[in-house]
Amino acid sequence: MKIRLASDLQLDSVVDGTGIRTVIWTQGCGHHCPGCHNPQTHDFEGGFEVDVDEVLEEIEGLESQTGVTFSGGDPFYQPEACAVIAKHVHKNKMNVWCYTGFTYEELLSMSKKNPAIMDFLNQIDILVDGLFIMAKHSYNLKFRGSSNQRIIDVKKSLKDKKVVIAMVDDVEADSNRGRYEKKGLYV
């Protein structure tokens, strides 16, 4: 199985989720949000293809990383490959974050036709969902670009059958803390 990436894996990120993280930049995004910071990742023919097994090997060799973050591009255009990689991340005792332009509700609906979407969702601890909206952009936001985007505890949301906002350590210090109604897991 192959996955199309925009770049090599990026180690030691502290801005793409809690802790120290490795980022997998997937290639391909159909959302075209005005003001997107990564327009070079939109082209579905861009970037390069790599064997998923090669990515698994790299995951295996990671040291001192809290977790792996899928970003892009939108990883949900390649759910099969991402699900396999995310499963391997958990096997190696790291957590999984994922950024997507789709909303959680859209993904649930899409998963009825494409079970791979649910396979991938089942392997995600924290999902940052929704389009980047320039009018809602703020530099005060942690781990997300615009205030419409939600930081979702996926496991709890699937279990409770409703969106549960994750209260990760750094997000709790977020200036928008008051808008969260419910506490989720710390990861």
142 touches ligand SF4 by CB under 6 A = no
* Tokens standing for residue 166: 């994750």
Which CB atom, from 139 or from 161, has the smaller least distance to ligand SF4?
139
Exactly one of 7, 13, 38, 92 binds ligand SF4 (CB under 6 A); that residue is 38
DSSP state for residue 92 in the 8-state scheme: T
Q: Tell me how far CA of residue 178 lies from CA of 77, 138, 172, 182, in angstroms.
A: 33, 16, 9, 10
By CB under 6 A, residue 32 contacts ligand SF4:
yes
Helices then strands (H, E): number in the chain?
6, 8
Please measure the distance between the N-terminal and C-terminal CA atoms of the chain and give it in whole angstroms: 30
- Residue 28 touching ligand SF4 (CB under 6 A): no
Residue 79 within binding range of ligand SF4, rule CB under 6 A:
no
- Euclidean distance between CA atoms 9 and 2, whole angstroms: 15
> Comparing C-alpha atoms, which of 82, 81, 100, 95 is closest to residue 144?
100
Residue 137 is a binding residue for ligand SF4 (CB under 6 A): no
Using CB under 6 A, which of 17, 47, 67, 73 touches ligand SF4?
Answer: 73
- Report how far apart, in Å, the C-alpha atoms of 116 and of each of 70, 78, 145 are: 16, 9, 27
29 binds ligand SF4 (CB under 6 A): yes
Q: Which of residues 151-180 bind ligand SF4 (CB under 6 A)?
A: none
- Figure out which of the listed residues 9, 11, 36, 52 binds ligand SF4, where binding follows CB under 6 A: 36
Positions touching ligand SF4 (CB under 6 A) are 29, 31-33, 36, 38, 41, 72-74, 101, 131-132
